[in-house]
Amino acid sequence: MLSRFLKQHTGPLTRDLVQEPGHFGLGKVPSRLMPSSTTTSICGYCATGCQLKIHLDENGNAINLSPQAGYPVNLGMACPKGWQALDPLDSPDRATMPLLRDESGKLVETDWTTAMDVFTDRFKKIQAEHGRESVAFLSTGQIPFEEMAFLGCLFKFGMGFLHCDANTRQCMATAVTAYKQSFGFDAPPATYADFEESDVIVLIGANLCIAHPILWQRVMRNPRNPKIIVIDPRATETAQAATQHVSLKPKGDLALLYALAHCVLRDGRVDAESLARTEGIEAFADFLKDYSPAAMAEKTGLTVEAIEALALAVSEPGKRVSWWWTMGVNQSHEGVRTAQAIINLCLMTGNIGKPGTGPNSITGQCNAMGSRLFSNTTSLVGGHDFSDSAHREKVASLLEIPLETIPSDYSMAYDEILAAAESGKIKGLWIVATNPFHSWIDSGRLAALREKLEFLVVQDMYHTTESAQAADLVLPAAGWGEKDGCFINSERRIGTLKTVRKAPGQALSDFRIFRLIAHAWGCDEMFAKWTNPEAAFKLLRNLTKDRPCDITGIEDYEMIDRMGGIQWPFSEGMGDPNPIISNLRSRRLFEDGIYYTPSGKAKFLFSPPAAMPEPPDFEFPFLMLTGRGTSSQWHTQTRTAKSDILKKLYPENVYLEIHPADARQYRLKEGDAVTVRSRRGELTAAVYLAPTVQRGQIFIPMHYPEVNKLTHSAFDPHSRQPNYKACAVALVRAGR
């Protein structure tokens, strides 16, 4: 049956699976790649969303790349990861065939027909015995949103399951929740041009220089001689390059932001026009009475004078102040309230909806923003709500699927899914393009959890990831450069990626794997119109009508390329045939002062700071901070470690940064091996002396597999985002 389906849709079985129709390098080059010897693609690493110019050989095969000069995001620049974006495709550990664990426990090659039979038989059996809540998927912010949407719709509407989430939970769930609650929709207001139009740029929990280096270049282009303030416990690369570093205590950020708001209100440095477009200021003002600089000095580790001076700097009348945050805020036990404290300050001072302003989150992954609108995990696909019956009816009608297939209840969050797997409630798990056995907080738990699962499927480019090695079934997937689709970057700009290489062996794009699964499951009629990524894009586009993220004005992929990417919203009628003269090239939200709440007003939201989940103590006297190591490393290094050039740009093995005075006290010198122990596990790292770290703290880059064996499972109560940034550890000289 499956073989017949494959033949009907794609030609002879073997040929089809190796050679995707219409895909590049198979004798048929997509017409929009011809006759040029270059094409463009959005970089597949971070959420900056740089466009790369891909240089092609005479067969349309990518041979090299360079940054695209005219693209309004990167303006001809790229970081090391972007320059080396093709390298990971050639790695010898690519998954090229489906792999199935045999009776001896080995993963052995199989064919797609068998793989699909096993996939459906095992998951259907679990579903029949244990119901729709017994299987979950965990996916990613790294695949095009057409694929995300296909997966989310297939799993919930077609296969009839409920629980799913993505590694975007680790990245920006906090920002999503903060914006939704404050503005009525998940609406990051920024445009990158705001970096160049601010008088004061506040970077909080954001190490732009190495995490988003092209955005730092945008800061450097600002002609207004801006004051650049970095709020961070460490003297990061960005803090060292800034005009001011506010070196606060870890997790002192929420207290500091409330103290700043206290000063702004006390001194009457508020913007009346902006306040008129809000609700809740009276209650917030009452709350702030307890947050004077004197009351917050100890909690923040700052002097009263330093807090007062910072309050003046971020509220100076007539100055454009923009706030930008990333994981230092998002990955916190109280990230949502911290993000909302930033939003509150912008609302109070009128720094929103104008050039050079905004409470602006910068996302981590290349398509985290696509996941926010289209993954069908926490929100109903297209920026809708599962609990809203009108939304469900609209989606059912436009996707031409039975209304009853759309659940009205919500999925569990990532941590809840894993806890349910630990308790035996979830018995089957499907992991797509992510590696939680390395990346999840307190990752040692995953090994025990694996034993509880009846069936684990991992769909990935590589068969060597920690997660793939734990799987019962591995489905080989194409990677960036081997498929089409769209990403959305941090300024809400939609850009396209292209197929410029053939996936190796029998690896398939995730989109085509989902088509195979839909057929094998018996629900392919429901997805008859999802024939290819661009067809899916048009279905998804139509779904956004009348939502804040309306993109019904986008005709097709070609229009996106022609206009240099398109920021949402872009409703019908907004199109400008001449992008060179169009001010649509760069837009921010809320210029009209109207928010997406029922009242049209933004909300002040706040609550008292909570205690740090695991502070240092006698037994574990150091606080371990984690973060990005270098601009050449990406997350679990699944791809960046495949590049010989990138590997030369960072230390191969795990290291820790420690203040020289602390190192002396422990008789440690540069290069010594030291064991770092937490209540959950330990690792051995090389010592790197760094006065940039405060005393009593160490910093370890997140990229090494040992690191999350130590981190502590604590979560923001609103967003369920993990608190990766702070846990208590002890140091022991290795060998003792």
Q: Footprint of ligand SF4 on this chain (CB under 6 A)?
A: 43, 45-46, 48-50, 74, 78-79, 81-82, 212-214
CB of 628 to ligand SF4, least distance (A): 11
Buried/exposed code over 88-121 (b: 16+ C-beta within 10 A; e: otherwise): bbebeebbbbbbbbeeeeebeebbbbebbebbbe
H or E element that contains 625: strand 622-627
Please identify, using beta-carbon distances, which residue of 45 and 258 lies nearer to ligand SF4.
45
CB of 82 to ligand SF4, least distance (A): 2
Closest contact distance (angstroms) between CB of 217 and ligand SF4 is 9
Indicate the residue among 17 and 210 with the shorter CB distance to ligand SF4: 210
Q: Give the three-state DSSP class for 132.
A: coil
In three-state secondary structure terms, 430 is: strand
Sign (positive or negative) of CA dihedral 645, 167, 75, 231:
negative
Question: In the bound complex, what is the minimum distance in angstroms from residue 192's beta carbon to ligand SF4?
Answer: 12
What is the closest distance, in whole angstroms, from the C-beta atom of residue 565 to ligand SF4 in the complex? 12
> Closest Cα to residue 61, out of 90, 82, 83?
90
**Closest separation in Å from C-beta 537 to ligand SF4:** 21
Q: Rank residues 89 and 307 by Cβ distance to ligand SF4 and give the closer one.
A: 89
Nearer to ligand SF4, 49 or 250 (CB): 49
Distances in Å between the Cα of 183 and the Cα atoms of 143, 341, 375 are 27, 13, 21
Q: How many CB atoms lie within 10 A of CB 279?
A: 16
- 688: how many CB neighbours lie within 10 A of its CB? 18
Report the candidate in 462, 552, 494, 502 with the shortest Cα–Cα distance to residue 366: 494
3-state SS assignment for residue 497: strand
- Closest distance to ligand SF4 from the beta carbon of 434 (Å): 17
**Nearest distance from C-beta of residue 610 to ligand SF4, angstroms:** 33
Angle CA 564–565–571, to nearest 5: 120
The least distance separating ligand SF4 from the CB of residue 612, rounded to whole angstroms, comes to 31
- Rounded CA separation 257/259 (Å): 5
Question: Tokens 């910093």 identify what position?
Answer: 699
Give me the amino acid identity at 267: D
Yes or no: say if 161 and 136 are a contact pair by the CB < 8 Å rule. Answer: yes
- The structure tokens listed for 53 are 């110019």
Angle ∠(538,32,51) on CA atoms, nearest 5: 80
- CA 332 to chain CA centroid, Å, is 15
Which CB sits closer to ligand SF4, 184 or 213?
Answer: 213
Nearest to 463 by CA among 109, 45, 225, 56: 109
Distance between CA atoms of residues 433 and 638, nearest Å: 10
Q: How far is the CB of 364 from ligand SF4 (least distance, A)?
A: 10
- What residue is closest to ligand SF4 based on CB? 82
Q: How far is CA 516 from the centre of its chain?
A: 27
99-101 vs 473-476, strand pairing mode: antiparallel
Q: Minimum distance between the CB of residue 215 and ligand SF4, rounded to whole angstroms?
A: 7
- Provide, rounded to whole angstroms, the least separation between the CB of residue 652 and ligand SF4: 21
Judged by CB, which is closer to ligand SF4: 145, or 437?
145
Token pair for residue 120? 């459906």
For residue 274, what are the CA distances in angstroms to 235, 351, 353, 410, 524?
34, 8, 10, 34, 50
